[in-house]
Amino acid sequence: MTLTKQLWIAITLVTTVALGGSLAVSLENARHYLEQELRVKNIDNAGALALSLSQLDKDPVTVELLIAAQFDTGHYRRIRLVDPEGSILVERSRPATPAEVPAWFVDLVPIATQPGLAQVQDGWQQYGTLTVDSHDRYAYASLWAGAGRLLAWLFGLALACGAIGTLALHRITRPLKAMVGQARDIGERRFTTIAEPATAEFRSVVRAMNTLAEHIHKLLDEEAQRLEALRRQTEHDELTGLSNRAQFLRQLDSALARDDDAAGGSLVLVRVAGLDALNRRLGRKAVDEALARLAAQLAASAETRADANCGRLNASDFALLAAGAGEAAALADALRGRLQEALGAEAAESLRLAACAYLPGETPGMVLARADAVLAAAELGFGRTVDAGPTDALLPYASADAWRAGIGAALDADHLELAAFPVLREDGSLLHEEAPVRLLLEGRWRTAAQFLPWAARLDLLPAIDARVIRAALQQLEQHRSRQLAINLSAAALRDAGFRATLHEALRHRPGLARRLWIEVQEAAALRHQVEFRSLCLALRPLGCRIGLDHGGKEFSRFAGLHELGLDYLKIDAAFVRGIDTSAGNQSFVRSLCSLTHALGLLAIAEGVCSEAERRCLVGLGVDGITGPAARRMAKSPLPLN
């Protein structure tokens, strides 16, 4: 029972007892008073009448007239004169009917009146005893009316008490609601702070919880700063702060392996030609500054889009990798002007730019070789600076319209299935299964990497994601022990209607929701923080797990990460590939793991290929792995160590 309910019951009880008690006491007082009044009236009137009769001639008619006159003009129930032997001389009476008062009231509050007695004398002789009974009808009527008025007043008072009680309760429990919310947040690893309430007891509790939340916040901030510094200093070019060649190649590798809507994309190579000559002409310092400006501009361009990385491949070569961006030419054109401006008028001439598209599944070497060829052509002045990339002969459609029709038809026909790739704990047991979507297009099952980039361009992702959710719930229903992880696209995340549908679908299946892991790409979540936060707040209470994938690069930049209550982070393959040989990435992943653990998140490494990588990652504190190594292990579990 809630506190409010209990307080309400207490208020109601106290009010009822107080008001009911005062009603009873008032009625009893009034009854007693009326009894006394009637008694005194009886005694006095009997005395006065007896006195008159004693003075009178005892002619029976006169006596009867006097009594009748008293009875008829007064308010009596009975006047009786009895002679000393006990026989009635005169009697006048009226039936005792309390007219307008209900019988139960008379039974409840009886007014016991006593008759007034007086002696009548005839000279020295006794003439008789006079008994006078006043009518109690008006007493009952007055008591009844009084009770009615009192009840009305008390009812009004009870209403007023109720109103005051409501206000008071509202005031008292208002901070409590916030406190309960905060406690619940902390229980869900969302370390929120709230304003301190005025009530002393509440204030000390809130202060303690706020202190805890702030402490954690501070801790996380420090950890995040350390992480960011680590990331920068280890695998980065000193002058420009961009990724160095090795790191950039790992990023490229990771991008080529993607199978979501960011599969495929564009690579832009930037060369400052004749660097030695420039150095001699402008001075090394000026050239370094110009290069730094160029790098900053590149980084800024990468910043504006999700899933973009840039790096310095060697002294004069820079690269921008834009995953999921199909328009290589447009990207190159947008960059050119900004980079020339960054280099400055004197060096702008030396800028060479080449762009090429890549397909998922290509090797980094193939993509780089193609880009180099375009750049060489550009340097030779052939003017063609963009390579549209290879056309995938396996792709079923060539035009956007065909893609739209094909995907639409597959969805309508329910030609959709979920793949299953194991995610293993460090001890080799199954954590959950990643379930990327597949569509049956032109008679063959196509991987996500093949159609998701087109679906993204055609704005079909929310529709596909909705079907994925449905398929995942079906799977969970059929296999009671399975846990599935599904990926939500940025487009679906932004779509409020989709979020509502998702919430509705999960709300009615709490048992299934608990076995569903929902992940959003780190870059998408970071760029749509408001939507991501509302998704977290809506889905957390339903029991499903929420995490980030392709994460690590910008993890430390999440504002209020500690307030989101996330469950897991999947670390991007770029930090995982060859980790056994990269000291920088090792310390980065170690820090990332300690940060996620501090927040109560699981750290899962993506794209783990070799057993050496796996062992290294487990040593760094990673809780789970996915990728080729995990698939191999799931088929033939390796003994630990």
Partner 1 sequence: MSSIRPPPPRRFLTALRRLAGALCVGACAAARAMPDAGDVERLTQARHDAMGASRVADWRRLIAEAGGLSAGERLERVNTFLNRQLRFDDDKVIWRQPDYWATPIETLGLGAGDCEDFAIAKYVSLRLLGIPAAQLRLIYVRARIGGPRSGHSQAHMVVGYFPAPGAEPLLLDNLIGEIRPASRRPDLFPVFSFNGEGLWVGGEVAADPSARLSRWRDVLDRMQREGLQFNP
Binding region for partner 1 (CB under 8 A): 36, 39-40, 43, 46-47, 50-51, 54-55, 83-85, 114-119, 121, 123-126, 129, 131
- In this structure, which long-range contacts are made by residues 391-399, counting pairs with CB atoms below 8 Å and at least 24 apart in sequence? 392/359, 392/450, 394/450, 395/450, 396/441, 396/442, 396/444, 396/446, 397/441, 397/442, 397/454
Rounded to a whole number, what is the distance in angstroms from the first to the last CA of the chain?
53
Report how far residue 130's alpha carbon sits from residue 70's, in angstroms, rounded to the nearest whole number. 12
Element (H, E) at 357: strand 351-358
The counts of H helices and E strands in the chain are 21, 20
Report how far residue 54's alpha carbon sits from residue 33's, in angstroms, rounded to the nearest whole number. 31
Distances (CA, A) of 573 to 259, 518, 604, 632: 13, 19, 10, 17
Q: Which is nearer to partner 1, 83 or 611 (CB)?
A: 83
Instruction: Assess contact for 113 and 39: CB atoms under 8 A.
Output: yes
Q: Which is nearer to partner 1, 36 or 233 (CB)?
A: 36
**Can you read off the two tokens belonging to residue 179?**
């406190």
Class of residue 523 by CB neighbours under 10 A (exposed 0-12, middle 13-18, buried 19+): buried
Work out how close the CB of 198 gets to partner 1 at its nearest, in angstroms, rounded to a whole number.
Answer: 52
Work out how close the CB of 99 gets to partner 1 at its nearest, in angstroms, rounded to a whole number.
Answer: 27
Residue among 557, 486, 478 at smallest CA distance from 518: 486
Residue among 118, 114, 138 at smallest CA distance from 128: 118
Instruction: Assess contact for 423 and 517: CB atoms under 8 A.
Output: no
Q: Which is nearer to partner 1, 82 or 282 (CB)?
A: 82
Report how far residue 587's alpha carbon sits from residue 301's, in angstroms, rounded to the nearest whole number. 28
Q: Which is nearer to partner 1, 114 or 166 (CB)?
A: 114
Report how far residue 61's alpha carbon sits from residue 540's, in angstroms, rounded to the nearest whole number. 101
Residue among 35, 45, 1, 20 at smallest CA distance from 157: 20
Work out how close the CB of 127 gets to partner 1 at its nearest, in angstroms, rounded to a whole number.
Answer: 10
Q: Which is nearer to partner 1, 125 or 641 (CB)?
A: 125
Work out how close the CB of 123 gets to partner 1 at its nearest, in angstroms, rounded to a whole number.
Answer: 6
Residue type, 431: L
Q: Which is nearer to partner 1, 115 or 547 (CB)?
A: 115
Report how far residue 622's alpha carbon sits from residue 551's, in angstroms, rounded to the nearest whole number. 13
Instruction: Assess contact for 597 and 603: CB atoms under 8 A.
Output: yes
Q: Which is nearer to partner 1, 46 or 353 (CB)?
A: 46
- For residue 386, give every residue at least 6 positions away whose Cβ sits within 8 Å of its Cβ, in sequence order, or none: 328, 329, 332, 354, 355, 356, 374
Work out how close the CB of 87 gets to partner 1 at its nearest, in angstroms, rounded to a whole number.
Answer: 11
Q: Which is nearer to partner 1, 47 or 361 (CB)?
A: 47
Work out how close the CB of 92 gets to partner 1 at its nearest, in angstroms, rounded to a whole number.
Answer: 18
Q: At what angle do helices 611-620 and 628-635 cross, to 10 degrees?
A: 100
- For residue 231, give every residue at least 6 positions away whose Cβ sits within 8 Å of its Cβ, in sequence order, or none: 553, 556, 588
Work out how close the CB of 131 gets to partner 1 at its nearest, in angstroms, rounded to a whole number.
Answer: 8
Residue among 596, 598, 545 at smallest CA distance from 575: 596
Work out how close the CB of 147 gets to partner 1 at its nearest, in angstroms, rounded to a whole number.
Answer: 23
Q: Which is nearer to partner 1, 62 or 126 (CB)?
A: 126
Work out how close the CB of 140 gets to partner 1 at its nearest, in angstroms, rounded to a whole number.
Answer: 20
Residue type, 570: K
Work out how close the CB of 82 gets to partner 1 at its nearest, in angstroms, rounded to a whole number.
Answer: 11
Q: Which is nearer to partner 1, 115 or 462 (CB)?
A: 115
Q: Which is nearer to partner 1, 114 or 211 (CB)?
A: 114
Work out how close the CB of 78 gets to partner 1 at its nearest, in angstroms, rounded to a whole number.
Answer: 14
Work out how close the CB of 145 gets to partner 1 at its nearest, in angstroms, rounded to a whole number.
Answer: 23
Q: Which is nearer to partner 1, 126 or 204 (CB)?
A: 126
Cα-based angle 548, 557, 180 (whole degrees, multiple of 5): 70
Work out how close the CB of 120 gets to partner 1 at its nearest, in angstroms, rounded to a whole number.
Answer: 9
Q: Which is nearer to partner 1, 60 or 123 (CB)?
A: 123
